[in-house]
Amino acid sequence: MKKFLSLMMAALMMAVCLTACGSDASSTASQATSTGSGTAASEAQPDNYLDKEPLRVATITAQMGVYLQYALDNGLFEDAGINVEMFLFDGAVAINEAVGAGELDGCIGGLGSVYALSSNQLVLLSELDSVNADGIVVRNDSDILTAKGEIEGKPDMYGSAETLRGKSFICQVGQAQQFYVSKYISQFGLTENDISFVNMEVASSYQAFVAGEGDAISTKMPYIYDLVNDNDCTIVADVKDATDIEIKDPVMFTPEAIENRREEVKIFLKVIHGVVDEMQADPELRKTAITDFYTAVGKDTQPEYLDYELEQNTLIDTKRMGDGFYAVGEFYVSTGTIPEADLPNILANIDTSLVSEALGFEVKAFEG
């Protein structure tokens, strides 16, 4: 009898070992590299979800990715009791594709995430930082610079209806850069029918503008910095002046993740906002973290680039969210890239309840 019990115990222990060995999470996402949050703690803590599969969260190889990378590098998710796996993408459109394929639970994304928001694939839960390093640039001999401060409250913005009408703008049509131009000229009573676009991707548009093509260019870092500092150009309107809205990087999760793993998502939000608060209080920490992240993903880390980005892109205290995404959605509806019937989905897919519960104060949603 003792021998039989010993055999039964041995078999039971073997089964437990096999189950434990077989529970390692394996997750893939197209066009992405992944970083896990590491080994789970051995002792359970309150609200401990370390025995669950990791939340699969994507981000972009830009400023918004540093918060996620920093939290992983410093074990902050594990300390809070959740597993998180990071996936890196070059842009929000690729993230949308991975979400649609069921390969992700959430993301810290960009403006392109509005497509997934309008199609009910993602829900906007929070916003982290304000993006203002992009802008519209002209050469210093442009007559657009002869008019300045014509729009009330914008003393540093150049342009007028007369100087802008008929001008050609180089940018990536259908992307954020076209949105900036459209909103900018509308302040002077103009529409896209009053100007022309030269459609090029960002790097090619920079090279074309330096070579003399186009009257103006809508671009982003590092090209905007090089144009102003090395190519005798001037920023006629930054993002805030051009659009009248604050462009912010979002935290989004799928409806399924919110429904099935709500408490884990709330912990994720609390950790990420804790990182934002820490970096807001310590600019040198933020600069070091961004430098480390950019180096890891192979992005240029020239000190002057970083200083400019840090000056222009500010961290925010989340109090109200969604206005920027709705404005972008309206623009994409006007270009036909988002069906008009899907525009109400953007407002419907703003959920402030999780971040309000996570942070302990009310965050209000834009209501249109």
Percent above pLDDT 90 for the chain: 65
Query: Does one domain contain both 265 and 332?
Result: yes
Q: 358 vs 117, 304, 318, 367, CA distance in Å?
A: 22, 36, 12, 22
pLDDT at 317: 63
Query: Does one domain contain both 229 and 144?
Result: yes
Answer whether residue 219 is part of any domain: yes
Query: Does one domain contain both 255 and 360?
Result: yes
Nearest to 84 by CA among 69, 94, 62: 69
Query: Does one domain contain both 352 and 217?
Result: no
pLDDT at 234: 98
pLDDT at 92: 87
Q: What does the buried/exposed string (b/e) look like for 311-328 if buried means 16 or more CB atoms within 10 Å of the residue's CB?
A: ebbebeebeebbbbbbbb
Q: What DSSP element (H or E) covers 288? A: helix 283-296
End of a domain among 243, 264, 281? 243
Q: Within 10 A of 286 (CB to CB), how many other CB atoms are there?
A: 22
CA 275 to chain centre: 16
Answer whether residue 83 is part of any domain: yes
Look up the domain containing 228 and give its range: 135-243
Query: Does one domain contain both 335 and 323?
Result: yes
Q: What are the backbone angles phi and psi of residue 190, rounded to the nearest 5°?
A: -105, 160
pLDDT at 250: 94
Nearest to 322 by CA among 348, 342, 289: 348
Answer whether residue 11 is part of any domain: no
Query: Does one domain contain both 140 and 234?
Result: yes
Residues 6+ apart with CB under 8 A from 3: none
Answer whether residue 122 is part of any domain: yes
Specify the CATH number for the domain of residue 180. Answer: 3.40.190.10
- R_g over Cα of the chain: 24
Query: Does one domain contain both 175 and 278?
Result: no
Query: Does one domain contain both 360 and 282?
Result: yes
CB-CB contact of 76 with 22 (8 Å): no
CB-CB contact of 266 with 126 (8 Å): no
pLDDT at 35: 60
pLDDT at 136: 98
Answer whether residue 227 is part of any domain: yes
Query: Does one domain contain both 217 and 90?
Result: no
Per-residue tokens: 66: 């540093």
pLDDT at 265: 98
The answer to whether the Cα torsion of 306, 232, 202, 131 is positive or negative is: positive
Nearest to 214 by CA among 226, 229, 204, 225: 204
Residues 6+ apart with CB under 8 A from 319: 363, 364
Query: Does one domain contain both 123 and 140?
Result: no
pLDDT at 36: 62
End of a domain among 199, 217, 243? 243
Residues 6+ apart with CB under 8 A from 211: none
This prediction has a pTM of: 0.80
The answer to whether the Cα torsion of 319, 324, 327, 328 is positive or negative is: negative
CB-CB contact of 212 with 198 (8 Å): no
Q: What value, to the nearest 5°, has the Cα angle with vertex 306 and ends 302 and 310?
A: 175
pLDDT at 316: 67
Positions in the chain whose pLDDT score sits under 70: 1-46, 316-318
End of a domain among 210, 243, 276? 243
